[in-house]
Structure 1
Amino acid sequence: MAKTMWNTVVAVGAAAVFTTMAAAPAGAAEGGASFSRVSLNSGKPIVIGVQEEVEVTGSFRMTTTRKFDYGPVVYPYRGRLDGGDALWNSITTTDCHPVAKGVCDFKEWLTIDPRHVDFGNEDAGTWRTAARIFYVGDDYDFDDMNIPVQVQRATRVTVNAAPEPVVIGKTLTVTGKVTRANWDTHTYQGYGGRTVSLQFKADGASSYTTVKKVTSSSTGALKTTVKAAESGTWRWNYYGNSTSGAKASTGDHVVVWSGVRVMHAAR
């Protein structure tokens, strides 16, 4: 979101440097470094809610024989390498961990704040990974690492199974709702038309099994019925898409009983 926002690059033990993403200086030369072993968020999608700042971990190796002013960093970007959009509010980068002459390993911590004025729903989707270094003087190196990064709006899913307890063979109604982060309004709103799996885990089982799939209403509501067969836990599971994160609800445990009450005669 370096479109217009201030960014912070901090090397451990060094002073903070404030800069904005902008085109490289006129007349500057590009090149001189190579990047490898690049990882952002361990290759997983970056899922962002509406209030909390998200911290993304990264790591990479840089090879160069040149002295540099600050950085290096890796980050999600769109558009031009040297003047497009960069998706970060701040980056903390460690000092060089030397591997060989001119070869350093780095770790970094990149933050994204969904409350920033430049951050909105249009930022969901596929980004690319850039690596950047500025040398002493005006020279620089920007590299496209050819690594896609998915940035997703967080989802929430709720569940309720009733009645509780339920007689074996009777109808159990399972409801819930799937909502998605709206980065423009900073609220969660109903996410309609989503295919969500109803899953069940019997008492004593170690994993959930999908029972059926349901499409959410225009308001994100979920509702279906099943026959009660055994005691266990019910949940809804949404698997996400390119712009929305995957999310499973918490489980709702339901006791299934025979419905037969044993009466003991008074003695």
Structure 2
Amino acid sequence: MRIRATVAAVSGALALSALAVPAAHADDSVGDTKISNVVVNSGKSVVVGATAAKKVTVTFTVTDNSGVAWAQAILYHGPSVEKSDTGAIADGKDGEATCTKVNATKSTCKSTFTLEPAYNLTNASAGTWKVWALAAAKDDDFAQKDNAKSFQVQRASKLTVNASPEPVKKGKTITVTGKLSRANWETGKYAGYTGQSVKLQFRKKSSSTYTTVKTIKTNSKGELRTTVKASADGYYRYSFAGTSTTPAVNAAGDFVDVK
């Protein structure tokens, strides 16, 4: 079948890290087969650390008046599946989804993928990924979607803080240092995230809410350093809002006793 050849070409191209997949084109369909309700990682961004592989689950619904024969999803990064620079084929036999019949015309399908640093993840591939999906019906109808769903794959982030001296006299200067780092998928380590805006926040000992004191930027090593005047007992922390490639993160509050 033509659709079998198409999915084989896409799977093979991604497995071999090839960029051209002439058999796969933009959205295509024959008959009344529909793909809908595509959900990646329960609707959350996929955050991957420096070394450990991450399992990603994709679920979707397929409908056709004759019933569903099979389905498959593939994850990829790039402007289109034909021009992808990396991707992932679903774990399991032939990369096909496991489809569970809901009724005579509808099935829910599920695939699990493995994203792994230094294998199919490079630093440049952080950001927006897409789901390529294909479903076939029992009467040979089919539906293919080049971008059935977009989602974010991000480099895990870490943020530290240290406020000193501790204790400190009221009105004296407190120096607050820290570092923002994120996973480097190519070296297997965490490295400083440079030039990023980070908020210094303070929470009084008697309060449960942090308020922003000022905003500063990380230096060329991802380091943070600023000063404030001691006013009351409480906790200082740094807070990073995140970017498309790196998730938001808050440092654990560091308590300062003001005398």
Alpha-carbon distance in structure 1 between the residues aligned to 2:207 and 2:124: 42
In structure 2, which of residues 226, 232, 235 is the aligned counterpart of residue 233 of structure 1? 235
Q: 1:90 to 1:233 in 2, by over 3 A?
A: farther
Q: 1:223 to 1:88 in 2, by over 3 A?
A: same
Structure 1: tracts of 5 or more residues without a match: 7-20, 258-267
TM-score by length of 1: 0.75
In structure 2, which of residues 95, 100, 108 is the aligned counterpart of residue 96 of structure 1? 100
Displacement, 1:193? 0.9
Alpha-carbon distance in structure 2 between the residues aligned to 1:140 and 1:146: 14
Partner of 1:87: 87
Alpha-carbon distance in structure 2 between the residues aligned to 1:137 and 1:22: 26
Alpha-carbon distance in structure 1 between the residues aligned to 2:86 and 2:69: 21
Partner of 2:254: 252
Q: 1:256 to 1:89 in 2, by over 3 A?
A: farther
Q: 1:138 to 1:146 in 2, by over 3 A?
A: closer
Alpha-carbon distance in structure 2 between the residues aligned to 1:5 and 1:166: 59
Displacement, 1:111? 2.5
The 5-angstrom pairing of residues 18-57 of structure 1 reads: 24=23, 31=30, 33-57=33-57
Partner of 1:68: 69
Tell me the secondary structure at the aligned position of residue 96 of structure 1.
strand
Partner of 1:205: 207
Identical pairs, percent: 36
Partner of 2:108: 105
Is 1:158 the counterpart of 2:160? The answer is yes
Q: 1:67 to 1:59 in 2, by over 3 A?
A: closer
Q: 1:129 to 1:251 in 2, by over 3 A?
A: same
Partner of 2:223: 221
Two-structure CA RMSD over aligned residues (Å): 3.2
Bigger mean CA offset, 158-167 vs 244-253? 244-253
Q: 1:156 to 1:41 in 2, by over 3 A?
A: same
Matched letter for residue 244 of structure 1: T
Is 1:148 the counterpart of 2:155? The answer is no
Q: 1:175 to 1:132 in 2, by over 3 A?
A: same
In structure 1, which of residues 184, 187, 210 is the aligned counterpart of residue 186 of structure 2? 184
Q: 1:81 to 1:192 in 2, by over 3 A?
A: closer
Alpha-carbon distance in structure 1 between the residues aligned to 2:213 and 2:181: 22
Matched letter for residue 59 of structure 1: T
Structure having the higher helix fraction is 2
What whole-Å deviation, never above 9, does each CA across 1:148-203 have from its counterpart, x for those lacking one?
32222222111111111222221111101111222222221122111111112222
Matched letter for residue 88 of structure 1: A
In structure 1, which of residues 126, 129, 134 is the aligned counterpart of residue 128 of structure 2? 126
TM-score by length of 2: 0.77
Q: 1:147 to 1:4 in 2, by over 3 A?
A: closer
Is 1:5 the counterpart of 2:24? The answer is no
Q: 1:214 to 1:84 in 2, by over 3 A?
A: closer
Q: 1:4 to 1:72 in 2, by over 3 A?
A: closer
Does the 8 A contact of 1:76 with 1:149 survive in 2? no
Alpha-carbon distance in structure 2 between the residues aligned to 1:255 and 1:148: 47
Partner of 2:4: none
Structure 2: tracts of 5 or more residues without a match: 1-9
Does the 8 A contact of 2:75 with 2:89 survive in 1? no
Tell me the secondary structure at the aligned position of residue 124 of structure 2.
helix
Alpha-carbon distance in structure 1 between the residues aligned to 2:203 and 2:45: 27
Does the 8 A contact of 2:86 with 2:125 survive in 1? no
